[in-house]
């Protein structure tokens, strides 16, 4: 178990090494204050809670931040987890520290309708605070890093959910801030819980190969060092094995096993000046064979996160490819710690304002408008955290966009007016399609016209960046409300029919207010308009209210059905359930569940007397029950109900309509695994048009559990819809 004394000593060591001018008296005061406020709390491993703030403060100190940042780290959980107020922290430690703590504090006191909405609002709050003071997000990343380091003490469910958030948000955020060392550790720690089997295989493989790998790296390092020393270039050269997640990602993308993967070595050459970088590059290409197409110059064109370096991949005499990164010492510090490496503060705690230099922060805040809570994190992953492609305007301005972007994304990155007036594009001075994929170095010119009719709805499916998608939606929201209502109503009613529900059901006077409240809209026209301009999908809208409509229709049907007059008979104790179903008026018979609709407990059900196979149980909304009123078959339909027995598992199948992408099946399997149900079958089938159907068969105890799992599956990126399938 970790001790207070160990962490206290480690923090002091970090402060002496990285922040020698720190106000130690104020830091000691904050330690005592936090210790007192958290005294009644323990960590999951049973250690005193104060150990966590001490560890976070140590990480912040190692980033090279200032005294206020260390104080904010020490106090970061006080407002959220204790009776401490913003005013009290401000009185004791100053306004800046209070604002930092407030920025890191989650919105735990608010009421949210869904966990996705809570996550979205907490991220928005953090990003808003980050736009004013970048130290907020640096403290938050330090907080997440220590929590991920101690994740072994959490429940399996918490390990997976928090690790997924780390992989989706915090590791890419560290990358965007240029903090590669922390980014790599977050990736590895998250992978450990998201795919423990592959994580262990890679770790075991690296341990088994350790001596051989180290011998190879010593040999290459000696060759580089000897050559550079002979020409008088002062350098520091060292080799390393790429981290576990990087190897895992290469395996997934390239479809290779560990034994087939060779490009896992990287060497860094750190020199004194930029001219030395290019001189070293020439010597590296003289010593080893260049791999064509694998050279990148991030010195002349830095990444948006300030990263600068020369990258080249070469092959030595052993036939093994490896990467060489060449940079100056200043570039190296920035590559390791990003914005934290050069964040300096003026007297009085005023920031240098460098956060304004981050174009993606502005885009991040702009893209929050008109975004559904369930889509928010996916939008962040696409627009903020994907790999970049760098293209140029005709005047030479560099524009960074997510990989896979098109001229539409480029136009809206320049200005919304340019995008709305776009009628075509040129790439490298040649007319190009507006859905053409941009590549590094392209020179893009947008052709506009004052008579342009504005964006097309198809553009929402073509563009890659959330910035472009948001601006297109805003245009439709403002300019085309009536058209949006018509378009949205059509999509909504089509989805209702697809779900087996009558399109007019939501307009019921009694049911309508309840459904609108659940959808968070004031009127149906507002909902249709939102679907029309792309703020919400019809699939998600219907999915949220499907159960309520089904229950209401079932209740009305029961009220309309006349009850036959009969003398109540005593409860018959010998009546028993077969497969969890009781057939009314029949004591015992064979029961089978119809494969056309796979009913589960909680579904409204009916029975059909088959010839020689007992009673076949169908969902009440199954298409095969549509002719129950047919006089020729009316006598064969019987009333059935679920027995009040201990819950037992039932097979059910869901078919998911998806956009094809790598990792989709893994995401589906992860959701099923975290739901703790027995997975019996999982397969995927690719269809034309970059579409797929993923079929998943599993056991559930009732329809409530099924719908809960269905909702989680629909939250997966690129899962567009679902339906009950056949077993």
The mean pLDDT value for 548-564 works out to 68
pLDDT at position 12 is 92
Chain centroid to Cα 126, Å, comes to: 16
**Model confidence pLDDT, tens digit, residues 251-264:** 876 777 777 676 78
Rounded to the nearest integer, the mean pLDDT of the chain is 80
pLDDT at position 10 is 92
Please check the confidence at residue 355 and state whether its pLDDT lies above 80: no
Which tokens belong to 7?
A: 């962490």
Which tokens belong to 35?
A: 């210790």
The mean pLDDT value for 258-276 works out to 85
Please say if 81 is a catalytic residue.
Answer: yes
Query: Residue 168: which pLDDT band, with cuts at 50, 70 and 90?
Result: confident
Which residues, in sequence order, are CB contacts of 71 under 8 Å at separation 6+? 26, 27, 30, 93, 97, 100
Q: Catalytic residue among 2, 23, 81, 525, which?
A: 81
Beta bridge mates, 642: 581
The mean pLDDT value for 110-130 works out to 58
**73 CB-contact burial (10 Å; exposed 0-12 / middle 13-18 / buried 19+):** buried
pLDDT at position 349 is 37
Nearest to 659 by CA among 693, 691, 694: 691
Query: Residue 487: which pLDDT band, with cuts at 50, 70 and 90?
Result: confident
**Model confidence pLDDT, tens digit, residues 65-105:** 889 999 999 999 998 888 888 899 999 999 999 988 988 87
User: Alpha carbon of 328 to those of 269, 290, 497: distances in Å?
Assistant: 8, 22, 63
Q: Among 215-219, 645-649, 721-725, which is the least confidently predicted range?
A: 645-649
Please check the confidence at residue 20 and state whether its pLDDT lies above 80: yes
Q: Sign of the C-alpha dihedral, residues 379, 385, 387, 388?
A: positive
Higher-pLDDT residue of 400, 13 = 13
pLDDT > 70: what percent of the chain? 81
Q: Catalytic residue among 2, 80, 165, 548, which?
A: 80
The mean pLDDT value for 668-676 works out to 79
Confidence (pTM): 0.56
Q: Sign of the C-alpha dihedral, residues 491, 496, 500, 501?
A: negative
**Model confidence pLDDT, tens digit, residues 295-322:** 888 898 887 667 889 999 999 877 888 9
Which of 335-349, 505-519, 536-550 is predicted most confidently? 536-550
pLDDT at position 400 is 77
User: Alpha carbon of 477 to those of 346, 411, 485, 532: distances in Å?
Assistant: 44, 19, 10, 8
Query: What count of other Cβ atoms lies within 10 Å of the Cβ of residue 627?
Result: 11
Which tokens belong to 468?
A: 């472009």
Read off φ and ψ for residue 152, nearest 5 degrees.
-65, -15
**Cβ pair 296, 302 in contact under 8 A:** no
Q: How many CA atoms lie within 13 A of 545 on its CB side?
A: 28
Please check the confidence at residue 356 and state whether its pLDDT lies above 50: no
Which tokens belong to 187?
A: 């990736």
Which tokens belong to 378?
A: 């996916």
């Amino acid at each position: 178990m970790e001790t207070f004394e160990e962490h206290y000593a480690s923090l002091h060591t970090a402060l002496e090494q990285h922040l020698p001018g720190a106000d130690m008296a104020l830091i000691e005061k904050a330690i005592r204050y936090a210790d007192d406020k958290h005294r009644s709390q323990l960590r999951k491993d049973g250690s005193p809670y104060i150990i966590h703030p001490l560890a976070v403060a140590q990480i912040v100190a190692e980033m090279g931040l200032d005294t206020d940042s260390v104080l904010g780290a020490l106090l970061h959980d006080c407002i959220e987890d204790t009776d401490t107020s913003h005013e009290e922290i401000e009185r004791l430690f100053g306004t800046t520290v209070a604002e930092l703590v407030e920025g890191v504090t989650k919105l735990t006191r608010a009421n949210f309708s869904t966990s996705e909405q809570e996550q979205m609002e907490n991220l928005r709050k953090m990003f808003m605070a980050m736009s004013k003071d970048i130290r907020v997000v640096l403290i938050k990343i330090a907080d997440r890093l220590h929590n991920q380091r101690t994740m072994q003490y959490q429940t399996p469910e918490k390990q997976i959910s928090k690790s997924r958030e780390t992989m989706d948000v915090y590791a890419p955020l560290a990358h965007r801030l240029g903090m590669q060392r922390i980014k790599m550790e977050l990736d590895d720690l998250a992978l450990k819980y998201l795919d423990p089997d592959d994580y262990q295989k890679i770790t075991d493989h690296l341990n088994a190969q350790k001596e051989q790998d180290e011998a190879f790296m010593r040999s290459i390092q000696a060759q580089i060092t000897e050559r550079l020393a002979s020409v008088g270039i002062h350098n520091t050269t060292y080799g390393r094995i790429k981290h576990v997640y990087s190897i895992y990602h290469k395996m997934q993308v390239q479809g290779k096993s560990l034994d087939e993967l060779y490009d896992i070595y990287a060497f860094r050459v750190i020199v004194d000046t930029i001219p030395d970088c290019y001189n070293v590059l020439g010597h590296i290409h003289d010593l080893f064979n260049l791999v064509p197409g694998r050279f990148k110059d991030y010195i002349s064109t830095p990444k948006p996160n300030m990263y600068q370096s020369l990258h080249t991949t070469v092959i030595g005499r052993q036939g093994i490819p490896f990467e060489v990164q060449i940079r100056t010492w200043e570039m190296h510090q920035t590559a390791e710690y990003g914005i934290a490496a050069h964040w300096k503060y003026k007297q009085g705690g005023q920031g240098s304002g460098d956060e304004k230099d981050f174009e993606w922060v502005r885009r991040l805040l702009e893209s929050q408008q008109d975004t559904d809570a369930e889509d928010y994190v996916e939008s962040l992953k696409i627009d903020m955290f994907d790999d970049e492609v760098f293209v140029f305007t005709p005047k030479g301005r560099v524009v960074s966009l997510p990989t896979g972007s098109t001229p539409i994304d480029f136009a809206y990155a320049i200005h919304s007016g340019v995008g709305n007036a776009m009628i075509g594009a040129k790439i490298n001075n040649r007319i190009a399609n507006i859905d053409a994929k941009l590549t590094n170095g392209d020179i893009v010119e947008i052709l506009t016209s004052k008579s342009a009719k504005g964006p097309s709805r198809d553009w929402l499916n073509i563009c890659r960046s959330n910035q472009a998608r948001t601006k297109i939606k805003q245009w439709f929201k403002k300019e085309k409300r009536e058209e949006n209502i018509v378009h949205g109503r059509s999509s909504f009613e089509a989805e209702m029919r697809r779900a087996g529900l009558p399109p007019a059901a939501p307009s019921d006077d009694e049911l309508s207010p309840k459904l609108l409240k659940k959808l968070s809209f004031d009127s149906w026209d507002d909902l249709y308009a939102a679907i029309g301009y792309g703020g919400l999908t019809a699939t998600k809208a219907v999915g949220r209210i499907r159960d309520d409509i089904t229950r209401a229709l079932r209740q009305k049907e029961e009220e309309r059905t006349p009850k036959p007059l009969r003398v109540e008979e005593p409860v018959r104790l010998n009546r028993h359930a077969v497969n969890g179903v009781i057939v009314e008026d029949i004591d015992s018979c064979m029961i089978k569940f119809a494969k056309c609709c796979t009913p589960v407990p909680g579904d409204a059900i009916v029975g059909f007397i088959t010839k020689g196979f007992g009673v076949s149980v169908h969902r009440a909304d199954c298409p095969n029950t549509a002719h129950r009123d047919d006089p020729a078959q009316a006598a064969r339909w019987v009333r059935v109900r679920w027995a009040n027995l201990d819950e037992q598992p039932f097979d059910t199948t869901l078919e998911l309509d998806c956009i094809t992408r790598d990792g989709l099946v893994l995401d589906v399997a992860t959701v099923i695994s975290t739901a703790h149900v027995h997975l019996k079958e999982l397969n995927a089938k690719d269809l034309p048009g970059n579409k797929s159907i993923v079929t998943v068969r599993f056991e559930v105890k009732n329809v409530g559990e099924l719908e809960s799992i269905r909702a989680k599956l629909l939250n997966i990126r690129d899962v567009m819809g679902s339906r009950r399938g056949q077993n």
